[in-house]
Structures are given as structure tokens and as C-alpha cells.
Structure 1
């Protein structure tokens, strides 16, 4: 009798082989000049009538189009159009999960609680249909982050147009991710507990486990031991400053406890992820120079006594307090990552300047991830990772992207969705 599981797996493999991503673009061959465009630089500045030129994957000129300078290579007329730096999506498991219901396509969560040595990069699927669907909304770079456990592993930063993870890598093993324990947890109603939030009686015990691991890792890397401990060895970058510790915490006490423990154990580069109640401890965060990757704005308040629009205005509250703030949506499904620019647009509705909101997903995210020397803003010498839109890229109706470039390569904006749209658009109407 034919094995039904074998048949299912074969059908799944055939499906993915038949719907593979668009072929990655070749290396830039000639110079490109975009003339007369409105350039949003990603650092808060705008050039209304701009000329942007790039060659060999690098920006060679960003300035006023009235400047007397020869246009080089292919000239793209940009009048009425807008140019933006490629958007950056931090803290996502993109390329690690393809189909949630099929375990064989999910590599985001490994067995174990303290597993900093698990590297997300080597499991990254550059041909993921979910990944390619980011590009038409201007999201060209992402921090591929493992999930689960207490210390879930090591992230890496990739660009979204590659054959494999080696080609995709922009910054390898950039940071380690720590899911901080919660002081409260939701009541398990199916076990007879009251609904709503209940105190976490194991909080102190869980803190001790984290502290012990950090202390042992620090001692191991300081001692120069020849006996290999992969988990402790993977933490070395936190103590020599080459990696960042991303602490995922939302509550006021959790934020203070997590950052205090990291600092006490010699970890200098710390990033707060989530930070739902970060607005209550802004002085503490400023004192320790902690940037915040804020949760998605399209969500509801957690507690009944909070402002109904707290998630919407949280990025502005933190920015106004003088913190370095970026946007992420690690708590949302992978396909929702394409909404990242609209989260920034939501903050504009809360009173933030539009160019400042743009920084939340460009220049600020690049700075927080430690890649500001090459990405995040349109500046001479940086990577030509950018896109051209016919309208406002932070608006759902205006986000109409016509061209996109990664390191100067003219990438495809085709996805599985656009292919289906073209296939079926005439089925129920006039051809």
C-alpha cells in the first residue's frame, strides 16, 4: 500500500518547486541615474527635486537635480515619483517558516531553553514565497530571528533577493535574543484558574536561571577554557562588544530587571524589544542608552485601564522622550510583516512628522541593528538599496512601487500573489 505521508510530502515539494521565487537579479552592470524625483533620505530630510546616482551597488550622488552634473548610465525620469531607502524589518522569523501547519517547513524554534548557539542564518530559506512578498511593499532587508525558549538563539541580517543564505547575508550573527520572564501570566481557565492575568509565582526562580547562565557564560569566556561549551562560547560577542543582546520585555519591572542584569554581567550593547510599558521608564532607558524596537502599532491595549490608542502612539511617546526608536512586528504573523510601512504611517496619524516616522523603519532601524554605515539612509557611499514609488510609501493607497534595487541590482517585484493575479484577473471579467 502506498504510504500516504510520502505522497503528501512529495506533493508539497512539487508545489514549492513549481512556485519558486523569481531569479535573483544580477550584479549592477552600468550606472543608474534617477532624475527629478522626491527623495526621502531616511534621516528626516527630503530633497524635493532630487538627482540620485549609483554605480557598482553604491550611491555616488544624492542631491539637487539642478546641480550641474552629468547623468551617468541609464536615466530614469522621476518627476512625480518618490524614492525611499529600503525598509528594514527587525526581529522576524522570515524564511524560517513557510507553512505554519506543516512542521517540516518550520525552523524558527529549536528544542531547549538556553540555546544561543542556534544560528538562524543557516536555516534561512532565501527562496521563501513569504520573503519575496515583502519586496513589493519596499521591505528589502530583515533581521532573521529565532523564536521560543528563554534564550532563543542568534539572529543575522539578510537582504531579500538571493539564491541562498550565503548570498543573502548582510551581517552574520549580529545578536542574541533573550525572552525575559513575565511577572504576570494569563490564567489557564481550562485548568480552573480565573481568567485574566495572574502573578507568576516562578518569576524569581526564572530570573535566577537567567542570571546563573549569564554568569557562567561570562566566566567561561573570560577563562579561555579549552573544553568546548557551544552555548557559552556563542555568548562571547556579548562580552567583547561585537554582538548585541536583544531583550524582549514589555512590563515596567521586566524592563528594569532585564537591563539591570545585563549591565551587571558586563553586557554593554542592549536593545529592548517590545517595550509596551517603556514609556513609564524612559529616564531609566536614557540613562543606560537603550534603544527600543517597539511592537506593532496595529494592536489593542493590553489592560482595560489603558488609553485606547496606547499602541498607536507608543513610538511617538518614546521618541518625544529622547529615545532611539525603531519599529518591529515580531509578535505578528510573518505575512503581516509587509504592513511594516503602514505601522509607521499610523504613527503619523498620532502627530509624528512623516519623515520622522519614516526613520522608524529606515535610519533608526539600521542604527539599532548596527548597520547604519551601509544601509538605512540615502547617502553617498552607502549601499544603493532603495525603491521608487508612485505615491506615499507609508500609505496603503500610495504604496505603489515601480522599481526596487538591492545593492544596485534591479530586483524583480513579482511574487506568487502577482502571478496569480495576472493569471486570474480576466477569468470573471472582460479580457
Structure 2
């Protein structure tokens, strides 16, 4: 009887593991592949009709017209006539892979206890087998900047690709930047303390800035003098001062953005990136002058101010682009892990509200790659870059036609199955076979 129970238990565990496990990562590319007959959206604004994209050993080796490609040079030819090929989409400022179930605290590695945590590395906590992350791939989202949350200095983000056994295999760029939640100059009045309701100036704003300056000056002094005892948080900030890391400042207001720019000049930090930037269009000249890009919030959101155009969140990316600011779309917000799969449709909404379609594509391809410092290897379909790309039956920025037939990460062919598609097939089969 005990043996029977053991066998049943083992069988149950085996079946459960098949249901719960993520798709097995693709095998290393072993033969050259040429995709022909497609409309190629290069990611830099260029579109090539009836194009061919070839890749070998995980790198793109040919980009051009189908008529000019020598198909005999490739082991496998995929005829994708009438379809579209895109570079893999990049989710900036996302927590995908850091939280599996919001209601289960043990599955959440989104933040840590404390306020000043530049040494906290999100990459260590990244779950490469997350079901949520797996669900992004069928929409063409193949890479992401995994970002911590919480505190004043949240920690360090890293950039990963979404086809790996573990975080080491997933990493594209480790510790790309440090994230700081800039103090707000405005807060809502605390009526329970006798204050008037509505927005009011935060009297602690100046004091909070002073604390920041003190902390950063102490870090600079530590790095220059090599004081003891060892200070890991200060050591982790070295990349900010030598220019090897980005400084992602999460700020929205005009005063906060302006103060952040001046703060970086004073501290000698050269790679400032504004995250959120709800009012960035009001200081666009300052951003352009100092070559500061912005990762805006997802476009499917409400206006930031009562007097703002209800459609302004849809138009923000286009307005900033027209003003000369380099823009990408971030994911942060309510239910952001699950909402991440809508990234291409956020860009599509920008296109539907006046932005050029190929410029909207840049928000999640070349612009994102440039801001994150990985544009030398991904972000566009160019010879020598990673073969991280996908083929869609239609417009990938339109939820009605974004239907992937093929996807590759570094030349590896991906399975586009997810927990959702498996359940869909299971129950469709059930109902289709009912008497």
C-alpha cells in the first residue's frame, strides 16, 4: 500500500512539474537561418519591404532585400511572406521576475528593508522561470530591465533576456544602473493633522535634499580616500561617479527634475536618466541641452493633473520626441508584472494619437536599448547584433494583429507556449469534443 501511495505521489509531482514549469530554454543556434519575404521594421525608423533577415551563431549576418539574399548560404529558409519582423521588444523599468504572486510575500523580492540601498542587486533575485515573464514572449517582449523598488535609493537594476535557466544565463548587462526615488516637493495635506486638503509644499523637501547631498558626498569621499571600515553601499556607487553606470532618478515634477539635473552636475554624475517625467515636456530644453533621456510611464494611464488633457498620457511620448528628448516606455504601476505583456500596445496607443508608427516602435526597441546602454548588441535589426527578433503575422503594435509565428533570442528558437495557451488549448479541446 505504501509503495502504491509513493508511486501515485511521484506521478502527481511529475505531472505538476510539467504544468508549473516554464518552457525549456531554446537550444544554442546550430544552423544558419534566413527569414524571407517579410516587411522588416529595423527599429531605427527604417522599413524594408520584401526583406530578408539572416542570422548565424546567434548574430545577425544579413539584412536586405529578399532578392539580394543568397539562400544557398543558409541551412534553413523560413518563408514569411506577408508577415512582419521586428527586433525584440525591451521592457524598461520593470519588476518582471521579481514577484510571482503579489499576495504571497515569500514570492516577492521587489524591495528590501532600509532607505539607502545602492548595493542591493535585483539580478540576484531574478527568477528566470517566472510564469509571468514567460507570458511576455508571445507579444514580442524578449528583454527587460529588472528594477528594484522602495526606499530612497532602491538598488541596482540589470538587463536580462527572457529565455534562460537562471539569472546568470539571462543576464545581458549586470548592474546597469542605480535607482533613486527623488523626494517630492509637493504632498497632499494631512487633514487628520489639521492641514488643508489638497496639494501643498512639502516643508521637508529641502532637508531631504540636504540628506541626499550629504550621503553622496560621503560616498565620493569614501571612494577617493579608501577609508575603513569597508562600506558596501558606498563601494557600489563607484559606477555613478566614473560614468560606467546609469543614474535612474524617479521624478515627475518640474522642480524635482530640475533639481535632479543640478544635483548630478554638482556630484559629477554624467549618466542621468529621468524615470516617470510626467512634466518632462515643461523642461524639455533642459533635458535636451544636457542629453538626458526619459523613461515615461505606460501610456494606458490617467492624466497627472486635473487640468491636463484626458488624452495627454497617450500623447506624451510624441510630444517629448518632437521636442528632441529620447524616450522609452517603462512599466511601473499597478499590477505591473501582469501589465508588462501590453508593452507593444502602449507604443501602439502613442502611434494612434499622432506619433509616427516607426517612432513609436523606437520607444520599445532602439531608444530603450540606447537609454539602457545595450544599443551595441540589441534594439535594431543590424548585422553583427544579437539575433533577438520575432516574426508577427501583422502589426506588432496592434493587439488585433500581433500574432507571433516565430521568435528567437540570440538565435535560439523560442517556444511561444505559456501557461495561458496551454489552458486555452486544454479547454478548447474539451468543448470542441463534447457531444
What TM-score bracket applies, with the shorter chain setting the length?
over 0.9
Match of 2:383? 380
Match of 1:289? 291
Alpha-carbon distance in 2 for matches of 1:286, 1:405: 35
Alignment of 1:20-419 (within 5 A): 20-67=21-68, 69-71=70-72, 72-188=74-190, 195-332=197-334, 333-419=336-422
Alpha-carbon distance in 2 for matches of 1:68, 1:85: 19
Q: CA deviation at 1:331?
A: 2.1
Q: CA deviation at 1:429?
A: 4.6
**Partner secondary structure for residue 388 of structure 1:** strand
Alpha-carbon distance in 2 for matches of 1:18, 1:68: 42
Q: CA deviation at 1:225?
A: 3.0
**Partner secondary structure for residue 123 of structure 2:** helix
Query: Normalising by structure 2, what TM-score?
Result: 0.93
**Partner secondary structure for residue 34 of structure 1:** strand
Q: CA deviation at 1:321?
A: 0.5
**Partner secondary structure for residue 208 of structure 1:** helix
**Partner secondary structure for residue 297 of structure 1:** coil
Q: CA deviation at 1:354?
A: 0.6
Q: CA deviation at 1:417?
A: 0.7
Q: CA deviation at 1:191?
A: 6.4
Alignment of 1:1-16 (within 5 A): none
Alpha-carbon distance in 1 for matches of 2:88, 2:134: 14
What is the CA deviation profile of residues 283-305 of structure 1, one whole-angstrom value per residue up to 9, with x for unaligned ones? 11111110111111111112211
What is the CA deviation profile of residues 141-196 of structure 1, one whole-angstrom value per residue up to 9, with x for unaligned ones? 00000000000000000000100000000001000000001112234567675554
Alpha-carbon distance in 2 for matches of 1:426, 1:277: 50
Q: CA deviation at 1:201?
A: 2.2
Query: Normalising by structure 1, what TM-score?
Result: 0.94
**Partner secondary structure for residue 49 of structure 1:** strand
What's the Cα RMSD here?
1.8
Range 378-387 or range 253-262, more displaced = 253-262
Segments of 5+ residues of structure 2 without an aligned counterpart are: 1-11
What is the CA deviation profile of residues 305-355 of structure 1, one whole-angstrom value per residue up to 9, with x for unaligned ones? 111111111101110001111111212421101111011101111211111
What is the CA deviation profile of residues 95-152 of structure 1, one whole-angstrom value per residue up to 9, with x for unaligned ones? 1100111100000110010000000001100000011000000000000000000000
More helix by share: 2
Determine if contact 2:34/2:71 at 8 Å carries over to the other structure: no
Alpha-carbon distance in 1 for matches of 2:350, 2:408: 27
Alpha-carbon distance in 2 for matches of 1:266, 1:215: 11
Q: Does 1:423 align with 2:415?
A: no
Inter-CA distance 397–195: structure 2 relative to 1 (3 Å threshold): farther
